[in-house]
Amino acid sequence: MWIAMQEHVLKGEAARSLLFGTLLGIGLSIGMLPQAADAQSNIIHEERSMYRNIAVTEGNGRRCMLFNQHRGDRNQTCMDLADPKRLVFHYTRMSLAGLLLNPQPKNILIAGLGGGSIPVSMHELFPEAMIDVLEIDPAVVRVAERFFNFREGDRLDVHVVDARVFIKRAALQGRQYDYIMLDAFTGEYIPEHLLTREFLEEVSQLLTPDGVLVANTFSTSELYDHESVTYRAVFGSFYNFKLPVSGNRVIIARKGGVPSQAGLSSIARNLHEQLEPYGVPILEYPARLSTSADWDESKRVLTDQYSPGNLLN
Amino acid sequence: MAIELLGGRVLSPYFGSSVYVWGSIITVFMLSLSLGYLWGGRLSSRNPNPVLYAMFFFAAALFCLPIIFLAETTMNGIFLWIEDPRYGSLMAALLLYFLPICLMGMVSPYSIRLLVRSEEHSGRTAGLLYFVSTLGSALGTLMTSFYFVLWFEIDQIMWGLISVLIFSGISVLLTYQLPGQTKPVEITAMQGDN
């Protein structure tokens, strides 16, 4: 994708400076070979927000939202143009694995909008559920509405707010959710105040007794250990969900620990038909959940006093 | 600058880390420094003396204590009182940081007054002071953002900064009892400022 961006930029430059363009063009065509499939992507929209540069690209039947693409960042979110229901990325599909613990959510909180694919699919799956979506960047909301078919509705509310602020206030107001998703990590800059024990305690106050927390987090770097230790400190044992094909790790937690894995397969069979249009292979998921600690348990818990997430990543 | 960077972390659990939280912090720091410069300059024209100068450091250290002990209570109150996190963070920054930073701002003009021996050298002295204090700021920024937050908790770093302030105040007092050795201590003192 990054290569494709470069090419787009280069077209203009070559016109201005033939030599420069040609030289880079040679470098480009060499670098481009393995990425040939992405080569037809074009930028259809660019927007600079207070927090980041947002680009919308289209090609190979996909429309994608990218943050800070000039630094070579990965796609934030993509939509399959021919089949908009289908969730394109593993991690978005994986985040529906929380349904194994709560197959009928009624009050859903989602931190991080992106292209809106998760809120939209949850809204379609559970039209009766009330959904609150938190997104810090108003530009992301605009782009999601304009390019990714995202629509607010009676039961789907977007709040332009820092997730920590909303969650703290919601806890004070005694609000409760039975499905909470944390998906506020974009990869390039980590909101450190959303990694701490105090934050997770606030999140846990919002959870109903059988409510489930699904957090899309980091699977590499030292942060993996710190984060795992912190979630353990707040929620006790949780399901660690990783797939060999995905670089993401999804944490599935419940207040006071997760239930045994025994019943999950039958729940998965019940969900299977419902989730099939979204491309979620839910039947494969129960076997991938693990409660064992594959991280360094001696690492320090992240707190509001100590949270150098960006230095650890 | 170290305190300013930590300010962002102190405020984020209540007001988030949106761009306006940084806006609040920077505004309050600039405002506090500017008034500190003004008052410090005024005070220096009336009977300038090293004891009062040392007091600036001790008072700044004292007013840093609420950042450690009262921040939670203060921010909790503000969080309940003001819904808009823009004004909430501005109010919190004002209450927590105005006094200590104002006092640190008073140090600069007062140092110039104490150090300047003649009109001829005043520019040179002021230049040296700016050099030392801004260099101290740069170091404080770098060390805090690259290393201190990785090694210590916020409150531990605050205690470190408070110790530097107290140490600077004591050095001022000690040095002025031994005439003829002013300059080196001023320099340590200015680093403490930031």
Convert the pLDDT of each residue in B40-68 to its tens digit: 999 999 989 999 999 999 999 999 999 99
What distance in Å separates the CA atoms of residue A198 and residue B72, rounded to the nearest whole number? 12
From the CB of residue B138, how many other CB atoms can be counted at a distance below 10 Å?
A: 12
- Whether A312 has a pLDDT exceeding 60, the answer reads yes
Q: For chain B, what is the mean pLDDT? A: 90
Q: Do A304 and B80 touch (CB under 8 A)?
A: no
Q: Which residues of A touch B7 (CB under 8 A)?
A: none
The model's pTM is 0.85
What distance in Å separates the CA atoms of residue A110 and residue A100, rounded to the nearest whole number? 17
- Whether A33 has a pLDDT exceeding 80, the answer reads no
Residue A278 is classified by DSSP as: G
- Is B22 within 8 Å of chain A by CB? no
Gap from B179 CA to chain A (nearest CA, Å): 43
- Is B84 within 8 Å of chain A by CB? no
Residue to test with chain B: of A159, A161, A162, A165, most B Cβ within 10 A = A165
Q: Which residues of B touch A199 (CB under 8 A)?
A: 13
How many helices (H) does chain B have, and how many strands (E)? 9, 0
Give the per-residue pLDDT at A190: 80
The stretch B95-99 carries a mean pLDDT of 97
- Whether A1 has a pLDDT exceeding 50, the answer reads no
A207 touches A178 (CB < 8 A): yes
Give the per-residue pLDDT at A311: 86
Flag the least confident range among A35-44, A65-74, B113-122. Answer: A35-44
Q: For chain A, what is the mean pLDDT? A: 84
CA angle centred on A211, ends A264 and A125, rounded to 5°: 70
- Whether A24 has a pLDDT exceeding 90, the answer reads no
Both structure tokens of A25: 């063009």
Residue A2 — pLDDT band, cuts 50, 70, 90?
very low
Quick: pLDDT tens for B135-174. 999 999 999 999 999 999 999 999 999 999 999 999 999 9
What distance in Å separates the CA atoms of residue B111 and residue A146, rounded to the nearest whole number? 58
Write the CA distances from B19 to A161, A255, B24, B56, integer angstroms: 11, 33, 9, 32
Nearby residues of A244 by Cβ (< 8 Å), 6 or more positions away: none
Gap from B185 CA to chain A (nearest CA, Å): 33
- Is A307 within 8 Å of chain B by CB? yes
Residue A71 — pLDDT band, cuts 50, 70, 90?
low
A183 included as an active-site residue: yes
Give the per-residue pLDDT at B190: 45
- Whether A98 has a pLDDT exceeding 80, the answer reads yes
